[in-house]
Structure 1
């Protein structure tokens, strides 16, 4: 497994540390006026999704995990598993909900997602930053309330509930930010 210096860390890099597999979310090189330099990082556990802060002394070596990423098409949910298909080999793969994290709230059939694997184990599924979904349940907007900037709850076709502006109705397609779960625009 290749070793890299913590001075060469980048966002998105996956590291094999003594307590598991971690993905770098943020990093900052710090050179205090007194004492040695260090690298302050925020890393996400690839298996549990927990985010922790970790500080490394500058120049030390860490193991870089080689992660294989493949574009796969989401087919359907099968109990607690989600079935994906490799679009070039047509191999099907069952992914547990825990590996999906919040992405499960935005998956619709036929969507292309990037499945990250490490030594044959699925460690994550990345979906586009925004998706278009249909509103399946919401209260009707009140006439004359269109410009007040108010919001109301709406349930999307995937079952995820978000806040939408009052003018959004059942059957409308809305653009949703998958990182925050917030309404962006009407599609």
Structure 2
């Protein structure tokens, strides 16, 4: 593949490392050849780097297979997912699951990215609905805006919620930063 064919979301194999293109731009300086500026995100570490390629440079694209998989359970060492098409089960280590574990409920479907059969990362939906398992009771008069209190949701994650939220309510949580988005 040529650098002229870059697209956002394409995964490149550069020196044995996998990088996702998150931004690119063709640039023609006053003198010299056209170059392609890009921002690349390391698939495993999440590190973002700027990289400039000469126009028409050959780059190796990596095949990344994204599959919808259902989360079954955590066996103490790995998270067990099942392919919703083939019903094959796949054990995914905690390192790969990362922060997604704070939002995973049993039987929930998530997108698992695989390269040569090895799981790379898990794509969660932008938000999930979780039940509040514990929060301090609100006091009378706490209906006003602005105040928050800590609450623990069913996955064990602790988030900040408005004072009027009570134990047992379902709340919508942003999977990118863990922010409260609203009541369900």
TM-score (norm 1): 0.89
Q: Distance in 2 between matches of 1:168 and 1:30?
A: 51
- SS class of match (1:103): helix
Match of 2:177 in 1: 180
1:120 aligns with 2:111: no
| 1:63 Cα deviation from its structure 2 partner | 0.8
Q: Distance in 2 between matches of 1:34 and 1:181?
A: 47
Match of 1:76 in 2: 73
Match of 1:91 in 2: 88
| 1:27 Cα deviation from its structure 2 partner | 2.5
Map 1:6-155; keep pairs closer than 5 Å.
6-155=3-152
Point out where structure 1 has 5 or more consecutive residues left out of the alignment: none
Q: Distance in 1 between matches of 2:13 and 2:115?
A: 10
Once the two structures are superposed, residues 57-109 of structure 1 have per-residue CA deviations (whole angstroms, 9 ceiling, x without a partner) of 33322111111121110000111310001123221110011112221111000
| 1:5 Cα deviation from its structure 2 partner | 2.2
CA 1:78 to 1:150, structure 2 compared with 1: closer, same or farther past 3 Å? same
Point out where structure 2 has 5 or more consecutive residues left out of the alignment: none
| 1:25 Cα deviation from its structure 2 partner | 2.2
Contact 1:17–1:62 (CA under 8 A) maintained in structure 2:
yes
Contact 1:49–1:101 (CA under 8 A) maintained in structure 2:
no
Q: Distance in 2 between matches of 1:80 and 1:50?
A: 26
Q: Distance in 2 between matches of 1:55 and 1:130?
A: 34
CA 1:70 to 1:7, structure 2 compared with 1: closer, same or farther past 3 Å? same
| 1:34 Cα deviation from its structure 2 partner | 4.4
CA 1:143 to 1:16, structure 2 compared with 1: closer, same or farther past 3 Å? same
- SS class of match (2:59): strand
Runs of 4+ in 1 over 6 A off after TM superposition: none
Count, aligned residues:
184
- SS class of match (2:90): strand
Q: Which moved more, 1:168-177 or 1:25-34?
A: 25-34
